[in-house]
Amino acid sequence: MSSKPKVTASLNGSSYLASSITRSTTDYGHAAPCSNGSNGTKSPNDETTDDFIFNGGYYISQSGARKLRAFQYSGMDLSLLYKHVLSPLAQHIVDHYTPRTLAPNSITLIGLSWMIVSYGLIWFYDGDAVPWWALAFNGAAMLIYQTLDNMDGKQARRTNSSSPMGCLFDHGCDSINVIFGIGGWHAALGLGSGDLRLRLATSIVPMIPFYFTAWEQSFTHSLVLPIINGPSEGLVLGAALSFSSAFWGVEFWHKTTGWDALAKLMPSVSSVEYLFHIIKEDVSVIRNCDLLVMVALLLALREAIEKLYSVSRRFGLRTIVNTAPLIILCLGMCGVYFVAPFLLQRYPRTSLHVMGGMFVDMVVSLITDELTHMQFNWFRSFVLGLGVVLILALAPSCSDDFLERVWCGYNVLIWTYLGIKARIVIHEMCCILHIWCFDIVTPYSADTVCDPEKKKKH
């Protein structure tokens, strides 16, 4: 009989609130093993044995808990920019300026805080000309977020505190940052209420490669970022876009210099003007911002198609079903554009938050199920809300005022749910892995934290 102590983690889903967000950064070409120790040491409870007891939680099942404890992260970033610039910079800051007591998840959250502040500034000036210094701050915030995002995984390995929860927390923060990045993109390009279709396209573009990368990882169990990818080159280009608009003005993106140059080099280029109907109503004038978004959209679709072919060929056509959440989300938002465009026009931020909230939910669920080897449910209940909005918009008796109230309430509902889910998932993972989310120094006591009866006695 084993001499190792038993750990009982009995969770009642109705007693806890919680959820998650994550992505783990690794050194170029190396995998990052995940340990369960919260303070850099490995206890007997960290072994995946039959002595570990978890009665199942609201989101993570008993079998999922065992898979979570056995999880080993695998991935690499093939970006040359990451290998020669971003990774060495992050490693230098971690080695020389980062306290060993600072939790990796805290580093991730600090980075996201910069983007939250930047997004708040842009939101404050939404509808007016965003000042140059706010755009410059947005560019700086992107680079700071990127650097800290690269630092968290290095700090985790430095302190021997890598964990699946850190992986999920990082992916979740990245998915939330997609929303802030979209808001910055709208401001840097100077997209107003008259560019509804283009604003919607810019909202969809960054979600496509992000989701398909997470979808691919859920089957291959390895995160492999291509030689040009969003976390490396994408964020740098996004920052460069904000800086260029800050110093030269957003007016540049509303000129036609790019299309005029292409027309001179390739006279036949005018024959593909019809493609731009995807992102704008009037194609008689192709602006620089139109050209930029179209190129980004084509690149995103190319990456999605490449991953679809690769994964479906290796694991079967059934894998394509799990791409349905993103497809339904995109089609649903396009439906809102055609049926109730005034919602996007009068409430641009609320519309972005609705779309972003559903995107965060599907990404976090996809990653959580991948970490725990649980079955991913491709049907997300939030899409029913989009269906209700579309039905109400088509109903003759439904007033615009009532539909606006429903739209705003829908946004509040989504983010309230996400906050509760985050609290529950984080709590369950802490109980399973015996770690704290933002503390790698204080020992974790599963008996008093996870067992409600023992918690009362203390």
CA dist., res. 4 & res. 156, Å (int)? 27
Long-range contacts, stretch 257-262, CB < 8 angstroms, 24+ apart? 257/288, 258/286, 258/288, 258/291, 258/292, 259/286, 259/287, 259/288, 259/290, 259/291, 262/291
DSSP state of 254: G
Helix-strand-coil percent breakdown of the chain, rounded to 5? 70, 5, 30
Residue 16 is which amino acid? Y
The dihedral formed by the CA atoms of 230, 235, 238 and 243, expressed in degrees to the nearest 10? -160
DSSP conformation letters of 25-67? ---TT--------SSS---GGGS-STTEEE---SSS-HHHHHH
Residue 77 is which amino acid? D
CA dist., res. 174 & res. 22, Å (int)? 7
The residues carrying an active-site annotation are 171
133's CB contacts (< 8 A; 6+ apart) are: 246
How large is the angle between the packed helices 235-248 and 164-189, nearest 10 degrees?
30
Counting every residue written for the chain, the total comes to 458
Q: How far is CA 227 from CA 378, 387, 433, in A?
A: 29, 39, 33
Q: How far is CA 163 from CA 37, 419, 429, in A?
A: 8, 21, 10
104's CB contacts (< 8 A; 6+ apart) are: 152, 153, 155, 156, 159, 161, 162, 166, 440
101's CB contacts (< 8 A; 6+ apart) are: 440, 441
Closest CA to 125 of 111, 112, 135, 114: 135
Closest CA to 342 of 427, 426, 286, 407: 407
Cα 39 to its chain centre, rounded Å, is 28
CA dist., res. 377 & res. 358, Å (int)? 14
